[in-house]
Structure 1
């Protein structure tokens, strides 16, 4: 049995009246690079995986998700704090991303999007030849001179 707390109800009422953000909400996310791909993890608790929409338009990645709450006929709510909501996040991927191989999964309320780096953007070995000799110099990205602190 729940006890009546007028301050909790007043706080909830004030929050709902003063809430100015009625449009799409942002989803918290982490983004990191792991080798030759990026991984984006976004929190979407209570979201039906079928409502998640991910699309790429040029270099713009858009993630949309919607939380809907169902209620049966004859249901009398005692309290309802979870809201229906639309979540939207857009990222500019920039150049060097293989947009054709982007993949996603949803597990335990977390959406994971794997964004691979394109072959053109990966570090590669470049051979340098000299016109005066027949030997070939091979350069590696890691062999590049390091800046010297003065």
Structure 2
């Protein structure tokens, strides 16, 4: 007979922990910043690696997709599974003209930064006033 007090974490089958399910879709928490010459889109995407992120800008629509992996640590068996994995998806309408050749993206510690430089014609400019008759 097993001593339940000393064996509180017993190995169970994955099917007992969570039923088979389709991939979960998450909406990443996002902040958007703007300055005169660029827009910065910052998304939280924990558990997503650089090769699992896809960013598309089509006309005025920015689409971001990131897939989390559900790999278990090597040599370990799952005892309790509460951490959900799936796909992050988010779409935004970008009302500015963007210089597509200068777009940059960086993923660091689960935070994705996408810098969208404004095209010259979208940047604010000062209009000079002339005098005359």
Q: Which TM-score tier does this pair reach, normalised by the shorter chain? A: 0.7 to 0.9
Which position in structure 2 is the counterpart of 1:92?
93
TM (normalized to structure 2)?
Answer: 0.73
User: What SS is found at the alignment partner of 2:25?
Assistant: coil
Q: Aligned partners of 1:2 and 1:98: how far apart in 2?
A: 60
Q: Within the alignment, does 1:26 sit opposite 2:27 as a pair? A: yes
Q: Aligned partners of 1:64 and 1:47: how far apart in 2?
A: 10
| 1:129 Cα deviation after fit | 4.5
Which position in structure 2 is the counterpart of 1:8?
none
Q: Could you say which structure has the higher helix fraction?
A: 1
| 1:72 Cα deviation after fit | 7.1
Over 3 Å counting, the alpha-carbon distance change for 1:116 and 1:2 in structure 2 is farther
| 1:50 Cα deviation after fit | 0.5
Which position in structure 2 is the counterpart of 1:77?
78
Task: After superposing the two structures, state which structure 1 stretch, 95-104 or 68-77, moved more.
Answer: 68-77
| 1:100 Cα deviation after fit | 3.1
Task: After superposing the two structures, state which structure 1 stretch, 96-105 or 81-90, moved more.
Answer: 96-105
Compute the RMSD of aligned alpha carbons: 2.8
Q: Trace 1:1-150 onto structure 2 (pairs within 5 A).
A: 3=8, 24-71=25-72, 75-129=76-130, 132=133
| 1:74 Cα deviation after fit | 7.5
User: What SS is found at the alignment partner of 2:26?
Assistant: coil
Over 3 Å counting, the alpha-carbon distance change for 1:125 and 1:68 in structure 2 is same
| 1:67 Cα deviation after fit | 0.5
TM (normalized to structure 1)?
Answer: 0.66
- Mark the runs of 5 or more structure 1 residues left unpaired by the alignment: 5-12, 133-150
- Mark the runs of 5 or more structure 2 residues left unpaired by the alignment: 1-5, 10-16
| 1:92 Cα deviation after fit | 0.6
What is the number of residues matched between the two proteins?
Answer: 119
Over 3 Å counting, the alpha-carbon distance change for 1:130 and 1:104 in structure 2 is same
User: What SS is found at the alignment partner of 1:69?
Assistant: coil
